[in-house]
């Protein structure tokens, strides 16, 4: 991967300090430590390699891991593939949410969406028939932050990735909006919802006049030199066999399944390479700049990855616009069920990616290598890097 130019200053540096270990902190005696407390090493890669050996000797499910990448100052520090190559693609699961959020930001930059205060009534006029006055008034910001009371979902769920009864619906977006109308406004607190994230994908489709995948290909993947040919975005269909569709999906390269209307699943099943995720993390680290091009505005990149709301049930972790944020420890991240994570450390000017393989016939479901464990592994590897060193 080519080195990219970095700016000397980032607005977030100083806002986020230290690092988090997540689940791994409880498993390793050493936990997370500051760069100053780490023993001197000829190269961080050696310490990273030692940590991986220790971790994999402790955790269950490490056999699902296929790629581990660490980059600092735009240079690869560590790269390892297990029963895989750099060209292999993986279902990144929940990391898809952060991509959908970025598409919202780019659409906003281009004037296709007026702002985060825009309402669903304004953003989804083709669904006016199923919007009640209350649901029509829901602001985009509430959907981005999981505070709009869409149906809750668990981060650790079956590979199908969605409630089975939604497969039978001829229009998923209409069904989600109708369900939300019945549920009512809730109390405005954080309630993690994949259904809400799919509404974000529908907003992208409505604003741009194209599928989220096609829009992403034009405004995000192409600028980042992410090869998506041939495009695979087959649709789920009422009465169809979702398991068979997902088997076809696993034979594809870059892919993103869609609902019956052609809206790609905003919350899951985007299929990318581990190096693609590294590029995406670097883009957000550099506040939306890639190869001297402002792909998404710095305003959006910073807002999306900064604390916007407090979470419920996730300890002290905050939430931005489809990104998890730990302001006390200084990282933001996207995580995917089954063990995929993109963790960004602005203080160390670094990104770590863990990509894991979860297949349709994996009897372990999502519990072989949990998303929080992947985040913890990535964060621990970042802690091996020197802080503020060129």
Cα R_g (the chain), whole angstroms: 20
Four-point Cα dihedral 380, 382, 386, 390, nearest 10: 180
Structure tokens at 195: 């259904």
Q: How confident is the model at residue 161 (pLDDT cuts 50, 70, 90)?
A: very low
H or E stretch including 336?
Answer: strand 331-336
Q: In which region does residue 304 sit, left (phi positive, over 0), alpha (psi from -120 to 50) or beta (all else)?
A: alpha
Burial of 152 (0-12, 13-18, 19+ CB in 10 A): middle
H or E stretch including 156?
Answer: none
Structure tokens at 223: 């600028």
Global pTM reads 0.87
Torsion 60-357-194-342 (CA) sign: positive
Most distant pair of Cα atoms in the chain: their distance: 65
Residue with the two structure tokens 């050696």? 46
How does pLDDT run across 325-347, given as a tens digit for each residue? 988 778 999 999 888 999 999 99
Mean pLDDT in residue range 41-63 = 82
- For the ranges 219-223, 229-233, 382-386, the maximum mean pLDDT occurs at 219-223
Asked if pLDDT for residue 30 goes beyond 50, the answer is no
């Amino acid at each position: 991967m080519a080195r990219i130019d970095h700016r000397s200053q980032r607005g977030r540096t100083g806002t986020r300090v230290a690092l988090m270990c997540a689940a791994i902190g409880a498993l390793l005696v050493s936990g997370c430590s500051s760069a100053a407390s780490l023993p001197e090493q000829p190269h961080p890669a050696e310490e990273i390699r030692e940590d991986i050996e220790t971790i994999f000797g402790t955790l269950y499910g490490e056999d699902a891991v296929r790629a581990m990448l660490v980059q600092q100052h735009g240079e690869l520090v560590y790269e390892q593939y297990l029963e895989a190559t750099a060209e292999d693609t993986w279902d990144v699961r929940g990391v898809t949410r952060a991509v959908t959020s970025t598409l919202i930001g780019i659409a906003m930059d281009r004037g296709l969406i007026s702002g985060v205060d825009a309402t669903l009534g304004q953003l989804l006029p083709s669904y006016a028939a199923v919007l009640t006055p209350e649901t029509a008034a829901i602001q985009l910001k509430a959907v981005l932050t999981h505070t709009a009371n869409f149906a809750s979902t668990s981060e650790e769920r079956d590979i199908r990735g969605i409630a089975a009864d939604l497969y039978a619906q001829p229009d998923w977006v209409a069904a989600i909006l109708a369900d939300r109308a019945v549920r009512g406004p809730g109390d405005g607190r954080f309630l993690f919802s994949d259904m809400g994230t799919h509404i974000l994908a529908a907003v992208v489709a409505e604003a741009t006049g194209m599928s989220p995948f096609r829009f992403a290909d034009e405004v995000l993947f192409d600028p980042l030199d992410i090869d998506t040919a041939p495009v695979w975005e087959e649709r789920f269909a009422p009465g169809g066999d979702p398991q068979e569709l997902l088997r076809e999906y696993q034979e594809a390269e870059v892919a993103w399944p869609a609902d019956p209307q052609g809206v790609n699943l905003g919350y899951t099943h985007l299929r990318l390479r581990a190096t693609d995720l590294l590029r995406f993390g670097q883009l957000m680290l550099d506040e939306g700049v890639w190869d001297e091009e402002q792909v998404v505005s710095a305003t959006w990149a910073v807002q999306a990855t900064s604390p916007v709301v407090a979470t419920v049930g996730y300890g002290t972790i905050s939430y931005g616009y489809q990104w998890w944020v730990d302001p006390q420890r200084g990282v933001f991240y996207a995580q995917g069920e089954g063990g995929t994570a993109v963790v960004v450390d602005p203080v160390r000017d670094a990104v770590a990616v863990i990509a894991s393989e979860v297949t349709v016939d994996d009897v372990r479901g999502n519990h072989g290598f949990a998303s929080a464990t992947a985040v913890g592994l990535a964060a621990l590897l970042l802690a091996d890097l020197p802080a503020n060193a060129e």
